[in-house]
Structure 1
């Protein structure tokens, strides 16, 4: 891959952009040795961050991921809830309401993927359009007519199918920065859905402008599980099944996931671009007491 960082499109006159705020969405314990190779954190507890985005002109309200719901034991296999020790002091819906945004007022909910610690409680978002990658159809059972039996990761929560939009291959018709497949969701260059497959089939990220003069943010979901994976200090952990020879990895497709991480690394080299992932313990510890959570905003990077 070229060492020269790709460029992002310059702002137009009166450029629309997105105000971005972090949302408390619960915490969970993760098995670092199964996720990363390299010096591992001492603390297994990580956040499951979600984000609120507010369009500067249309005032459209977008939520990226819904974190963990309080009654998680009813929606994932008990073994997962017991091993990951979910702790939800404030759900996404509660975080929004505390910041002055009723969940019923949200226009769009973008879900990076359907793992239980990202889907929260969709039922509270009574008017929102739900946007998922097309690969999520399989997990939802829309290709077979019934919900796939919940696995170690997939929640049994239902997404309202009458307000469900899948980002198809034909939708991903623009290239931006290091991403060859993206969609300009509002048609004004303010926010892009990018194909970020690898961790899960149909995994998507948001790449959004955060100022009218050239600042950006990538919301990466589970594209990586620690910021040191993006810098290259950590690598994706995996093993080889002794019986089948298959690669065993937390990412469904290890090679595609690693390519997506390289794209994130390339993107992070562009000036004024922030890259945030859902389970980033470093960013959370540095920012948990700062004014970056709703009703406040994550400040855009400056030169």
Structure 2
């Protein structure tokens, strides 16, 4: 039986104005404006709909000095998805910008790497330098879900469904996972924070929030290995995603992109 294929939507919900020096460790980076976009993703076909990551809400935006441009539930509604009807959510990791909005998905099961739960409840969280990307309320909520039977632990190499595989790469956080999704144009990799920007892969430079540098660079190689080409890799925070890929509809240009479709143009490395 052949693999199922899926549509994939990248939904921007927030942004942060910053500079290139804030996004790379080392290398000859010509400093200048380099904004960060915040995304969730939707993977769907006729058989299933999966939300990947859940973003943060207005309260967390104010706490972290970020700007909500479209609340997560608004982006989902544009795709005809009611958040309270979502049955499955995959969390790439539990940092505050990927694991919030707890009220939106009351009926969902959450799929996370077991190693990520061990990490964010273990001894490394004694260090502010390591725990600062986590929001304690998010971690507490995941423990609630565990005891409520709404949490599913995934293996380092796992199959979610025909045409969707999950791969623990670590690096940015110890239990970070990426997704490989079969589409009409081939295998697309949702890299999430294994590569925040295209530049991390192209220049082999690290993002400053890193737990294990070796795992981060091994993760770059794994992302490239799993994707059909460099044009099948979707980084986690790069505004170029919305410029390169066609919008879901004319009214969602610059907001929701179809990354299962070919990009408008190829990137210069």
TM range (shorter): 0.7 to 0.9
Are residues 1:95 and 2:56 paired?
no
CA offset digits 1:14-62 (Å, max 9, x no partner): x312221121221124563243134356223211111111134x2x210
Q: Does 1:263 align with 2:233?
A: no
**Aligned partners of 1:102 and 1:279: how far apart in 2?**
24
Q: Are residues 34 and 18 of structure 1, via their aligned partners in 2, closer, same or farther at CA, if it must alter by over 3 Å?
A: same
Determine the structure 2 residue equivalent to 1:242.
none
Say if 2:19 and 2:33, in contact at 8 Å, map to a contact too: no
Counterpart in the other structure of 2:267: none
Whether the 8 Å CA contact 2:246–2:258 is kept in 1: the answer is: no
TM-score by length of 2: 0.80
Candidates 185, 196, 210, aligned match of 2:160: 185
Cα RMSD of the aligned pairs, angstroms, is 3.0
Residues 1:282 and 2:240 are matched in the alignment: yes
Q: 1:92-241 residue pairs with structure 2 within 5 A?
A: 92-141=72-121, 151-156=131-136, 157=138, 158-159=141-142, 160-161=145-146, 162=148, 163-168=150-155, 172=156, 182-186=157-161, 188=162, 190-211=163-184, 215-231=186-202, 233-236=203-206
Q: Secondary structure at the match of 1:138?
A: helix
Q: Secondary structure at the match of 1:33?
A: helix
Q: Distance in 1 between matches of 2:22 and 2:256?
A: 35
In the alignment, structure 1 segments of 5+ residues that lack a partner are 1-11, 173-181, 238-248
Alignment partner of 1:26: what SS?
A: strand
Contact map agreement 2:20 2:29 (CA 8 A) in 1: no
Aligned residues: 248
Shift in CA distance, 64/40, structure 1 to aligned 2, threshold 3 Å: farther
Q: How does 1:48-87 map onto structure 2 within 5 Å?
A: 48-56=38-46, 58=47, 60-72=48-60, 78=63, 81=64, 85-87=65-67
Q: Which structure shows the higher helix fraction?
A: 2
Q: Which has the larger radius of gyration?
A: 1
TM-score by length of 1: 0.71
Closer/same/farther in 2, CA of residues 41 and 194 from structure 1, 3 Å limit: farther
Higher RCO (C-alpha under 8 Å, 6+ residues apart): 1
Counterpart secondary structure, 1:262? helix
| Distance in 1, Cα, partners of 2:183 & 2:192 | 18
Aligned partners of 1:63, 1:19: CA distance in 2, in Å?
12
CA contact (8 A) 1:108 1:129 kept: yes
